[in-house]
Amino acid sequence: MPPARRSSTASSKISAKPAAAPADIPALHLTRFLPYRLSVLANTVSHTLAKLYEKRFGITIPEWRIIAVLGGGETMSAGEIAQRTAMDKVQVSRAISRMLDSSLILRESGDTDRRKALLTLTPKALAIYAEIVPMALTYEEEVTDALSIDERAQLDTLLSKLQARADQLAARPAPVGAQTEPVEE
Amino acid sequence: MPPARRSSTASSKISAKPAAAPADIPALHLTRFLPYRLSVLANTVSHTLAKLYEKRFGITIPEWRIIAVLGGGETMSAGEIAQRTAMDKVQVSRAISRMLDSSLILRESGDTDRRKALLTLTPKALAIYAEIVPMALTYEEEVTDALSIDERAQLDTLLSKLQARADQLAARPAPVGAQTEPVEE
DNA sequence: TTGCAACAGTTTCAAACGAAACTAAAATGG
DNA sequence: CCATTTTAGTTTCGTTTGAAACTGTTGCAA
């Protein structure tokens, strides 16, 4: 610990006794806490997969998602992509701009509505799609191999239910009794 | 679409026919793809919760995690915190520095090893802990209310198994050959 | 001892992000 | 019609991030 700005007491001899923590507060163990567990798991999985196709194709997660939704050869607008990939429009816009630079995507302005740009993958991107999909599916399988057939079905159900509920709670305006006050002291 | 840099074909009349996509490529539907689903769900949940305590206490996710592991009044080093929160040391270092500024944490240099700084929550942070834990648990309950008792147990099992497997796969050196081969089984 | 590798944390730097402001093009409507 | 609002997408700005480099400290070994 090098340039540790000297803060108040800098000695040692810390009483091993938990100084505070009133007994009536329900304990929270991070490792049992659903949001934490989901976050860590999703992170591990995404990160591993991302490294795989970053190394192989030099694309990022947003780009991979766009390739995934356009991989069928379809054409759609940026807004549609945003919806389908659950990314926001800024992220999509930036990813598209990168993909234009690397000739992965083709942008044509629509006739009927010139605000909407119609986006299509180039053959180059389609080639990546053809290679990356099996890779992605293989990885998914490797992960789900940890589960039985029954458990995989359960997982599907659970994720759907949780997502539905999480969406519902996220949409909720504001926690009813929530003060907008920054902590009393 | 304002300053759309004109890229090659800029007309319209897009043939609705999917130009490519050979039939032998297994389709990948993002909405059925586990890494994607996990990512979206974790994101929704974390984001909702983060907004909750950001608004109320002005703390970020890393700070909340640190409060969570130190909330019992324990004292530990930054490295230990990093392990327990599954954050990397840079993230922890920065969170701690913020918390020192806002008097949420106390840093004392150890006697035996002056590299390790011993970290403890201040009463102010403990007060936040006392308030935030019920909030967090309530939110967790609201989410899991979408599930039956059985399903909650399933979820626990599934997450554990998936995390274990994901960790295992993440640790795997690197798919050396270009191929995504199942490798040593 | 000193000499060097390993460790604990911090800092730096460039890329990535989110919110909000912005621009251009459509839709609305008086 | 022209003015206003909405929609589609981009840009800007300040913050956050992650990797790698760095600093101080300790442990180990010759």
**B144 pLDDT above the threshold of 80:** yes
Contact between residue B60 and residue B54 where contact means Cβ atoms under 8 Å apart? yes
Within a domain: residue B164?
Answer: no
Structure-model confidence comparison of residues A86 and A7, the more confident one: A86
Residue B101 to residues B10, B50, B97, B124, Cα–Cα distance (Å): 54, 20, 6, 13
**B2 pLDDT above the threshold of 70:** no
pLDDT recorded at residue A10: 33
Within a domain: residue A1?
Answer: no
Query: A73 and B33: CB-CB below 8 Å?
Result: no
Q: Return the structure tokens found at A131.
A: 């290679």
Q: How far is it, in rounded angstroms, from Cα B138 to Cα A177?
A: 13
Query: What is the distance in angstroms between the Cα of B99 and the nearest Cα belonging to chain A?
Result: 12
Contact between residue A84 and residue B30 where contact means Cβ atoms under 8 Å apart? yes
Give, for A105, the enclosing helix (H) or strand (E): strand A105-109
Q: How far is it, in rounded angstroms, from Cα A97 to Cα A109?
A: 15
Using an 8 Å CB-CB cutoff, list chain A residues near B100: 5, 7
Between A21-30, B9-18, B121-130, the lowest mean confidence (pLDDT) is in: B9-18
**Which ranges of A27-109 would DSSP assign to H, the alpha helix?**
34-57, 61-70, 78-85, 89-101
**A109 pLDDT above the threshold of 90:** no
B111 touches strand D (CB under 7 A): no
Within a domain: residue A38?
Answer: yes
Within a domain: residue A130?
Answer: yes
CA nearest to B163 within chain A? A41
CA A40 to chain centroid, in Å, comes to 11
DSSP code per residue over A115-143: TSEEEEE-HHHHHHHHHHHHHHHHHHHHH
Put simply, the chain A residues between 27 and 46 with a CB less than 8 A from any chain B CB are: 27-28, 30, 33-46
Q: How confident is the model at residue B23 (pLDDT cuts 50, 70, 90)?
A: low
Q: How far is it, in rounded angstroms, from Cα A13 to Cα B109?
A: 10
- Please, which residues have CB within 8 angstroms of residue A63's CB and are 6 or more apart in sequence? A95, A98, A99, A104
Task: Show the domain range for B67.
Answer: 52-139
Q: Give, in Å, how far the C1' of C17 lies from the CA of A11.
A: 40
Between A26-35, A114-123, B173-182, the lowest mean confidence (pLDDT) is in: B173-182
Within a domain: residue B125?
Answer: yes
A-to-B residue pairs, Cβ atoms closer than 8 angstroms: 302
Using an 8 Å CB-CB cutoff, list chain B residues near A163: 37, 40-41, 44
pLDDT recorded at residue B119: 94
Q: How confident is the model at residue B26 (pLDDT cuts 50, 70, 90)?
A: confident
Residue B24 to residues A122, A130, B29, B135, Cα–Cα distance (Å): 19, 9, 15, 50
Within a domain: residue B70?
Answer: yes
Nucleotide whose C1' lies closest to the alpha carbon of residue A100: D10
Within a domain: residue B177?
Answer: no
Within a domain: residue A19?
Answer: no
Q: How confident is the model at residue B174 (pLDDT cuts 50, 70, 90)?
A: low
Q: How confident is the model at residue A2 (pLDDT cuts 50, 70, 90)?
A: very low
Q: First-to-last CA distance in chain B?
A: 51
At A22-39, the pLDDT tens digits run 556 678 899 999 999 999
At B65-107, the pLDDT tens digits run 999 999 988 999 999 999 999 999 999 999 999 999 999 999 9
CATH number for the domain spanning A111: value is: 1.10.10.10
Q: How many domains does chain A have?
A: 1
